[in-house]
């Protein structure tokens, strides 16, 4: 189980770095949007490339931050229903949800998204809009993001099983928890000893 927890910590660290980096795309999108509005209304100049760049930046933020959001347990949940259950029941709900819904969904999307992106890359697909951008970077975001989400789903399932076995504390699964890095080996050992 310790090897799986190490694997889980590596996934968490990677997705946190990717998410925090991708979050900066919002600032870039705001700047692009501002420049686009100023040039359009101030100088009557505009380009479809500016609009498409805003779409790409938003898509990048949304897709690449999704695994980090799952890691931080900030995704939408039905807390009204699950709030009346114990942390152990929550862990089982997360395990079943991950195994039955999240992981299969990611695999199905990857099955379709990988050839979708590869076709776009090999053809050098361009936007059909006049002055538009190349399309394949946006299409490539889909399989990359869902692969990262698949990895994070596996990490969450590993952590839930570790919690059920008394190896880690359940507080990191509470809503709003898990914002920091996952526990190191010392924290895991201490949590395991206190759980017994």
- Which pLDDT score, from 0 to 100, does residue 157 have? 95
What confidence tens digit (pLDDT) does each residue in 101-131 have?
Answer: 999 999 999 999 999 999 999 998 888 887 7
Average pLDDT over residues 64-91: 83
Residue 131 region by backbone torsions, left for phi larger than 0, else alpha for psi between -120 and 50, else beta: left
Q: How do the domains of the chain map onto residue ranges?
A: 2-195
Q: Tell me how crowded residue 113 is: count the other CB atoms within 10 A of its CB.
A: 20
Report the range of poorest mean pLDDT among 4-13, 49-58, 186-195. Answer: 186-195
- Which pLDDT score, from 0 to 100, does residue 76 have? 75
Q: Is the pLDDT at 181 greater than 50, yes or no?
A: no
What span, in angstroms and rounded, lies between the C-alpha atoms of 140 and 85?
A: 40
What confidence tens digit (pLDDT) does each residue in 148-159 have?
Answer: 999 999 999 999
- Which pLDDT score, from 0 to 100, does residue 172 have? 66
Q: Is the pLDDT at 39 greater than 50, yes or no?
A: yes
Measured CA to CA in angstroms, residue 30 lies from 7, 49, 76 at distances of 36, 15, 25
Residue 187 banded pLDDT, cuts 50, 70, 90: very low
Q: What is the pTM of this model?
A: 0.81
Q: Which two tokens stand for residue 93?
A: 């709900």
- Which pLDDT score, from 0 to 100, does residue 145 have? 97
Computed over every residue of the chain, the mean pLDDT equals: 84
Q: Among the residues of the chain, which ranges form H helices?
A: 2-43, 48-71, 79-82, 87-97, 103-123, 136-164, 185-195
What is the radius of gyration, based on Cα positions, of the chain? 20
Q: What percent of the chain has pLDDT over 70?
A: 84
What span, in angstroms and rounded, lies between the C-alpha atoms of 71 and 80?
A: 21
What confidence tens digit (pLDDT) does each residue in 42-72 have?
Answer: 887 777 888 889 989 999 999 999 999 999 8
Q: Tell me how crowded residue 125 is: count the other CB atoms within 10 A of its CB.
A: 15
């Amino acid at each position: 189980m310790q090897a799986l927890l190490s694997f889980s910590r590596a996934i968490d660290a990677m997705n946190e770095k990717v998410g925090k980096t991708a979050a900066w795309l919002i600032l870039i999108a705001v700047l692009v949007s501002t420049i686009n509005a100023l040039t359009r209304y101030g100088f009557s100049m505009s380009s479809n490339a500016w609009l498409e760049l805003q779409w790409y930046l938003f898509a990048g933020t949304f897709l690449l931050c999704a695994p980090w959001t799952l890691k931080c347990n900030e995704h939408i949940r039905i807390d009204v229903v699950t709030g009346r259950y114990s942390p152990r029941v929550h862990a089982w709900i997360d395990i079943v949800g991950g195994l039955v819904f999240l992981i299969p969904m990611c695999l199905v999307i990857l099955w379709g998204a990988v050839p979708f992106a590869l076709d776009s890359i090999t053809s050098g697909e361009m936007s059909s809009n006049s002055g538009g951008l190349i399309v394949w970077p946006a299409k490539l975001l889909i399989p990359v993001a869902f692969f990262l989400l698949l990895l994070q789903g596996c990490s969450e399932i590993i952590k839930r099983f570790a919690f059920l076995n008394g190896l880690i504390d359940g507080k990191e699964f509470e809503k709003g928890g898990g914002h920091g890095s996952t526990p190191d080996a010392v924290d895991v050992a201490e949590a395991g000893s206190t759980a017994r």
